[in-house]
Structure 1
Amino acid sequence: MRSPSGSVPALSAASATIFSIGIVFLGYWGLYDPTKWRVADIMVFIFALLGFACLGIVPWMATSPVSSEDNDSRIRIARHLFLAGVAGIWLAVALSVIF
Structure 2
Amino acid sequence: MPSPIGSVPALSAASATIFSIGIVFLGYWGLYEPTKWRFADIMVFVFAMIGFGCLGLVPWMATSPVEPETSDARIRIARHMFLAGVVAIWLGVSISVIF
1:29 aligns with 2:5: no
CA distance in 1: counterparts of 2:70 and 2:60, whole angstroms: 19
CA distance in 2: counterparts of 1:6 and 1:13, whole angstroms: 12
1:43 aligns with 2:68: no
What 5-or-longer segments of structure 2 have no aligned partner? none
What 5-or-longer segments of structure 1 have no aligned partner? none
TM-score, normalised relative to structure 2: 0.94
Root-mean-square deviation over aligned CA pairs: 0.6
Partner of 2:92: 92
Identical-residue share of aligned pairs (%): 80
CA distance in 1: counterparts of 2:56 and 2:87, whole angstroms: 14
What displacement does 1:90 show?
0.3
Q: Which amino acid aligns with 1:82?
A: F
CA distance in 2: counterparts of 1:92 and 1:10, whole angstroms: 24
Q: Runs ≥4 in structure 1, deviation > 3 angstroms?
A: none
CA distance in 2: counterparts of 1:60 and 1:69, whole angstroms: 16
Q: Which amino acid aligns with 2:30?
A: G
Partner of 1:74: 74
CA distance in 1: counterparts of 2:17 and 2:46, whole angstroms: 20
TM-score, normalised relative to structure 1: 0.94
Partner of 2:52: 52
What displacement does 1:85 show?
0.1
CA distance in 2: counterparts of 1:7 and 1:95, whole angstroms: 31
Partner of 2:9: 9
